[in-house]
Structure 1
Amino acid sequence: MTIALKEGYEPLTEATAVQLIKDLGYFDAHSSLRCKEIGDGNLNLVFHILDENDKGIIIKQALPYAKVVGESWPLTLHRATIEGNYLKNAIPLVQELVPQVQHTDEAKALTIMEDLSHLDIVRTGFISGKDYPILSQHIGEYLAKTLFFTSDFGCNQQVKKGLQQAFSNPELCKITEDLVFTDPFHVSETNDFEPELIGTVETLWEDDSLKLEVAKLKYKFLTCGEALLHGDLHTGSIFANETTTKVIDPEFAFFGPVGFDIGQFFANLLFQAITRSDEKKDIILFHLHQVWDTFIQTFTELWQTASVEPFTKTEGYLEHVLEGFFHDSIGFAGCELIRRTIGLAHVADLDGIEDSSRRLACKEVAIKLGRELILQRSSISRTNEIVHLLEKVKRGA
Structure 2
Amino acid sequence: MAQYQPLTEETAVQLVIKLQYFREDATLKVKEIGDGNLNLVFHIVDEENGKSIIVKQALPYAKVVGESWPLTLERARFESSFLQKAAEYVPDLVPKVFHFDETLAIIVMEDLSSHTILRKGTIEGIIYPKLAEHIGTFVAQVTFHTSDFYLHPFEKKQLVKEFINPELCKITEDLVFTDPFFDHETNDFPDGIRDTVEQLWQDQELKREAAKLKFQFLTQAEALLHGDLHTGSIFVTKESTKVIDSEFAYFGPAGFDLGQFFANLVLNYISQEAHIEELEKRKQYQAYLVDTIRETWSHFTKQFTELWHSKGNEVYTKVPGTLESFLNKVWTDAVGFAGCEAIRRTIGLAHVADLDSIQDLDKQYAAKKKALAIGAEFIKKRKQIQSVEQFIELFHVK
What's the TM-score bracket when you normalise by the shorter of the two chains? over 0.9
Alpha-carbon distance in 1 for matches of 2:283, 2:387: 21
Residue by residue over 1:39-67, the C-alpha shift from the partner in whole angstroms, topping out at 9 and shown as x without a partner, is 11100000000111221100010000000
What amino acid sits opposite 2:129 in the alignment? P
Pairing partner for 2:359 from 354, 363, 378? 354
Q: Give the deviation of 1:385 after TM superposition.
A: 1.1
Q: Which residue matches 1:139?
A: 135
Q: CA deviation at 1:155?
A: 1.3
Deviating 4+ runs (over 3 angstroms): none
Structure 1 CA distance for aligned equivalents of residues 375 and 268 of structure 2: 14
287-296 or 47-56: bigger deviation: 47-56
Following the alignment from structure 2 to structure 1, what is the Cα–Cα distance between the partners of residues 391 and 172? 24
| Paired letter, 1:58 | I
TM-score, normalising length: structure 2: 0.96
Query: Aligned partner of 2:387: which letter?
Result: R
Distance 1:335 1:36 in 2: 36
1:291 maps to which residue?
Answer: 296
Q: Give distance in 2, aligned partners of 1:55 and 1:361.
A: 46
For 1:290, the aligned partner's letter is: E
Aligned-pair identity in percent equals 55
What corresponds to 2:108 in structure 1? 112
2:16 equivalent to 1:21: yes
Separation (CA, whole Å) in 1 of partners of 2:65 and 2:79: 22
Counterpart of 1:79 in structure 2 is: 75
Give the TM-score taking structure 1 as reference length.
0.96
**What are the superposed Cα offsets for residues 105-137 of structure 1, whole Å, 9 maximum, x if unpaired?**
000001000101001111111111211101110
1:38 is matched with 33
Q: Which amino acid is the alignment partner of residue 147 of structure 1?
A: T
Which residue does the alignment assign to 2:275?
none
Alpha-carbon shift at residue 7 of structure 1 (Å): 5.2
Q: Which residue of 1 aligns with 2:207?
A: 211
Q: Once the two structures are superposed, what CA deviation does each residue of 1:61-97 show, in whole Å capped at 9, x if it has no partner? A: 0000000000000000000011111111111111110
Q: Which residue is equivalent to 1:158?
A: 154
Give runs of aligned pairs for residues 67-106 of structure 1, distance below 5 A: 67-106=63-102
SS in 2 for 1:281: helix
Residues of 1 paired with 2:263 and 2:227: CA distance? 14
Task: Give the corresponding residue for 2:180.
Answer: 184
How many positions carry a matched residue from both structures? 388
- Hey, what's the Cα distance between the residues in 2 that align with 1:130 and 1:207? 37
* CA distance in 1: counterparts of 2:26 and 2:124, whole angstroms: 36
Partners of 1:388 and 1:152 in 2: CA distance: 34
User: Does residue 384 of structure 2 align to residue 389 of structure 1?
Assistant: no
* Offset of residue 386 of structure 1: 1.6
TM-align CA RMSD = 1.1
What SS does structure 2 have at the residue aligned with 1:111? strand
Give the Cα separation in 1 of the matches to 2:92 and 2:265: 22
Query: 106-115 or 379-388: which moved more?
Result: 379-388
Runs of 5+ consecutive residues of structure 1 not aligned to the other structure: 1-5
CA distance in 2, matches of 1:87, 1:299: 20
Quote the offset at 1:280 in angstroms: 2.5
Give unpaired runs (5+ residues) of structure 2: 273-281
- 1:315 partner letter: P
2: CA distance, partners of 1:308 / 1:22: 46
Residues 262-277 of structure 1: pairs in structure 2 closer than 5 A = 262-276=258-272, 277=282
Find the residue that maps to 1:377 and give its secondary structure: coil
Aligned pair 1:47/2:39, yes or no? no
Whole-Å separation in 2 of the counterparts to 1:303 and 1:370: 31
Instruction: Say which SS state the counterpart of residue 224 (structure 2) adopts.
Output: strand
CA distance in 2, matches of 1:158, 1:346: 39
> Deviation of residue 316 (structure 1)?
0.7
- Which deviates more, 80-89 or 178-187? 80-89
Q: How does 1:307-386 map to 2 (within 5 A)?
A: 307-386=312-391
Q: Secondary structure at the match of 1:40?
A: coil
Q: Secondary structure at the match of 2:255?
A: helix
Deviation, structure 1 residue 278? 2.8
